């Protein structure tokens, strides 16, 4: 359904409340809020159920169907809580915040502590889904400055060979940027429109998100800037890298 006015989305969208909410989020709360949206960002709620290969057992089909059903229920609940404003209450994020803090606590452990928590650390490593690794043998008799110099050269060469680059992560400057651009507001508006099968045009969405912008082109921002920013933020690699910096906050 095409929506050429902002009326449908304005029924629940409280821009002032969103602005106040995003300005009050801490670093870990930002990660938690983005994780909540990331879970559904590429999710096609209206997709037809996949046909499972004949070789799959009935049990496998049942488990897959159950997982899909549970995700649909969670997404429905998320949209309902979004429309009612529950997602803007501090306690709504608490479970995800606790999960992020638990993840960060593993990185703060000393090596001796990690030896007592091998299983936890193993899960942590697998969860990150590292795409590459590098083992180094270091002569500890060498001066530190030469060791660091060579490590930088080796890392640069390996990244070039494997076409890899360091994962970007959330930082204070980026938080300021996504607050000003109203990224969270944009994400929720898009998720809502996907769930409701609404095709909200750029003009209508710009009117909802940036009614107070006069020195920029809000339509162009909605058309190009926000999709690009969302793509860089709504992925597990970015959020995992951001979680690894929690110890710095």
Of the CA atoms within 13 Å of residue 176, those in its CB half-sphere come to 3
202-211 residue pLDDT tens: 888 898 899 8
Provide the pLDDT for residue 56.
Answer: 58
Q: What is the mean predicted confidence (pLDDT) over 152-165?
A: 76
d(CA 241, CA 246): 9
Provide the pLDDT for residue 100.
Answer: 82
48-77 residue pLDDT tens: 656 555 555 666 666 666 777 788 889 999
d(CA 247, CA 249): 6
Question: How many percent of the chain have pLDDT more than 90?
Answer: 34
Q: 222, 26 in Cβ contact below 8 A? A: no
Provide the pLDDT for residue 240.
Answer: 87
Residues 6+ apart with CB under 8 A from 114: 106, 121
Q: 36, 96 in Cβ contact below 8 A? A: yes
Distances (CA, A) of 234 to 13, 34, 144: 21, 7, 38
Phi, psi angle pair for 200, to nearest 5°: -85, 120
What band does 127 get if pLDDT is binned at 50, 70 and 90?
very low
Q: 112, 80 in Cβ contact below 8 A? A: no
Q: Tokens 């400057």 identify what position?
A: 173
Which of 36-50, 57-71, 159-173 has the weakest average pLDDT? 57-71
Q: 29, 226 in Cβ contact below 8 A? A: no
The mean predicted confidence, pLDDT, of the chain is 80
Q: Tokens 């809020």 identify what position?
A: 33
Q: What is the mean predicted confidence (pLDDT) over 210-222?
A: 84
Query: Residue 195: in which H helix or E strand, if any?
Result: helix 183-195
């Amino acid at each position: 359904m095409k929506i050429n006015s902002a009326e449908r989305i304005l029924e629940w969208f409280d821009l002032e409340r969103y602005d106040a909410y995003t300005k009050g989020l801490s670093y870990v709360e930002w990660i938690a809020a983005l994780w909540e949206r990331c879970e559904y960002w590429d999710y096609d709620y209206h997709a037809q159920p996949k046909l499972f290969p004949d070789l799959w057992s009935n049990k496998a089909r049942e488990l897959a169907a159950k997982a899909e059903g549970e995700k649909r229920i969670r997404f429905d609940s998320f949209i309902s809580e979004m429309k009612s404003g529950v997602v803007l209450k501090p306690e709504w994020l608490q479970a995800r915040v606790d999960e992020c803090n638990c993840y960060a606590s593993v990185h703060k452990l000393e090596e001796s502590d990690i030896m007592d928590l091998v299983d936890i650390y193993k899960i942590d490593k697998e969860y990150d889904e590292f795409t590459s690794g590098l083992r180094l043998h270091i002569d500890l008799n060498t001066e530190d400055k030469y060791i660091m110099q060579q490590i930088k050269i080796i890392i640069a060469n390996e990244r070039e060979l494997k076409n890899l680059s360091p994962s970007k992560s959330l930082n204070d400057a980026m938080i300021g940027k996504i607050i000003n651009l109203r990224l969270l507001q944009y994400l929720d508006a898009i998720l809502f429109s996907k769930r409701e099968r609404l095709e909200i045009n750029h003009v209508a969405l710009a009117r909802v998100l940036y009614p107070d912008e006069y020195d920029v082109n809000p339509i162009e921002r909605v058309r190009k800037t926000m999709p690009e920013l969302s793509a860089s933020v709504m992925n597990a690699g970015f959020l995992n890298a951001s979680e690894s910096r929690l110890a710095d906050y």
